[in-house]
């Protein structure tokens, strides 16, 4: 199976403290990998390395065969990224955001943009400052999927959403991402989200990948309704503070 992104023995220090300490991780095409870990485990640092916003102190990273730090512009055109809070100007509307982004992404699909906007009920002309948390999350999901990137990155993007809105957003992601030749990495502390999305589960603990396995293999084929609590039982010692099960 081809991997869209790989990390091999990746280390990142801040001062003398290694936040990531020899991380090995592959993101195979056609899969959603959910990354779990306690606060401060280095999950966001790992995403910043994939985005080319930080440089690894050791090891090798590749996204679509490219070094994210040295080919940062090209790599970011191949990534659809949704942070925990919209990283856009408050005065922008979704329509203005999409108009700004589309020329920068060669594979941007106006058809997909319009379909997602209609499906999710995104208020196209309302400023982000006036959008609800759920509306902003929907708008940012459109911005991540419409470029048809090689890699999707979600950094706690579904936290704080009303359960109905969250189900709507997760359903759109699963049905519209077209993962056949792409991969997704979802950072979350919500085990309900992990159970809904994951093909694979990775756990970052003390700077290393402590667990990386297919969801079915990890949970022994537990029924979907029991998956969040099964993950809690299995990973409680290495994930934990703040990991939520509804």
**Over the chain, what HEC string results?**
CCEEEEEEEEEEEECCEEEEEEEEEEEECCEEEEEECCCCCCHHHHHHHHCCCCCCCEEEEEECCECCCCCHHHHHHCEEEECCCCCCCCCCCHHHHHHHHHHHCCCCCHHHHHHHHHHHCCCCCCCHHHCCHHHHHHHHHHHHHCCCCCEEEEECCCCCCCHHHHHHHHHHHHHHCCHHHCEEEEECCEHHHHHHHCCEEEEEECCEEEEEEEHHHHHCCCCHHHHHHHHHHHHHHHHCCCCECC
Q: Is residue 218 part of a domain?
A: yes
Mean pLDDT value across residues 2-31: 93
Torsion of CA 140, 151, 32, 7, to 10 degrees: -130
Residue 53's closest CA among 43, 68, 65? 68
Report if residue 32 sits inside a domain: yes
| Bridge pairing between strands 151-155 and 183-187 | parallel
Of 98, 181, 86, 105, the C-alpha closest to 147 is 105
Domain count, the chain: 1
Boundaries of domain holding 228: 3-92+150-239
* 197-243 residue pLDDT tens: 989 999 888 889 988 888 888 777 666 666 666 677 766 655 554 44
Residue 17 predicted with pLDDT over 90: no
Q: Is the pLDDT of residue 245 over 50?
A: no
Q: Considering the domain boundaries, does residue 60 fall inside one? A: yes
Q: 1-5, 139-143, 154-158, 168-172: lowest mean pLDDT where?
A: 1-5
The verdict on residue 117 lying in a domain is: no
**Which strands make up the sheet holding 17-28, listed edge to edge?**
17-28, 3-14, 58-63
pLDDT at 221: 64
| pLDDT attached to residue 246 | 44
Does residue 184 register a pLDDT over 80? yes
pTM of the model: 0.90
Taking the C-alpha atoms of residue 194 and residue 223, their distance in angstroms, rounded to an integer, is 14
Asked whether residue 141 is assigned to any structural domain, the reply reads: no
Return the percentage of the chain with pLDDT > 90, whole number: 65
Residue 103's pLDDT is what?
95
On whether residue 144 sits in a domain, the answer given is no
Q: What is the CATH number of the domain that holds 159?
A: 3.40.50.300
Residue 188 has pLDDT above 60, yes or no: yes
Q: Predicted confidence band at 37 (pLDDT cuts at 50, 70, 90)?
A: confident
pLDDT at 226: 60
**Would the pLDDT of 153 be above 70?**
yes
Query: pLDDT at position 192, please?
Result: 84
Average pLDDT across the chain, whole number: 89
Residue 230, phi then psi, degrees to nearest 5: -65, -40
In a domain, 195, yes or no: yes
pLDDT in tens, 38-65: 888 899 999 999 999 999 999 999 999 9
Answer yes or no: is 8 within a domain: yes
């Amino acid at each position: 199976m081809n991997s869209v992104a790989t990390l091999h023995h990746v280390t990142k220090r801040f001062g003398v403290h290694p936040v990531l300490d020899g991380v090995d991780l592959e993101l195979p095409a056609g899969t959603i990998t959910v990354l779990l870990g306690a606060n401060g485990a280095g999950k966001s640092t790992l995403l910043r390395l994939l985005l080319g916003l930080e440089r690894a102190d050791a090891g090798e990273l590749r996204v679509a065969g490219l070094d994210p730090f040295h080919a940062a512009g090209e790599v970011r055109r191949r990534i659809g990224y949704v942070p925990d809070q919209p990283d856009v100007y408050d005065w922008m509307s979704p329509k203005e955001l999409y108009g700004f982004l589309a020329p920068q992404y060669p594979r941007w699909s106006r058809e997909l943009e319009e379909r997602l906007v209609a499906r999710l009920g995104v208020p196209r002309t309302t400023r982000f400052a006036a959008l609800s948390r759920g509306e902003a999350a929907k708008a940012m999901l459109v911005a991540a999927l419409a470029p048809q990137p090689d890699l999707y990155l979600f950094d706690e993007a579904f936290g704080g959403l009303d359960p109905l809105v969250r189900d709507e957003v997760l359903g759109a992601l699963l049905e519209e991402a077209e993962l056949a030749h792409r991969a997704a990495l979802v950072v979350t502390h919500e085990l309900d989200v992990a159970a809904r999305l994951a093909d694979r589960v990775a756990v970052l603990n003390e700077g290393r990948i402590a667990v990386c396995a297919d969801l079915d293999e990890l949970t022994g084929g537990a029924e979907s309704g029991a998956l969040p609590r099964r993950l809690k039982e299995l990973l409680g010692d290495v994930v934990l503070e703040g990991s939520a099960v509804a």
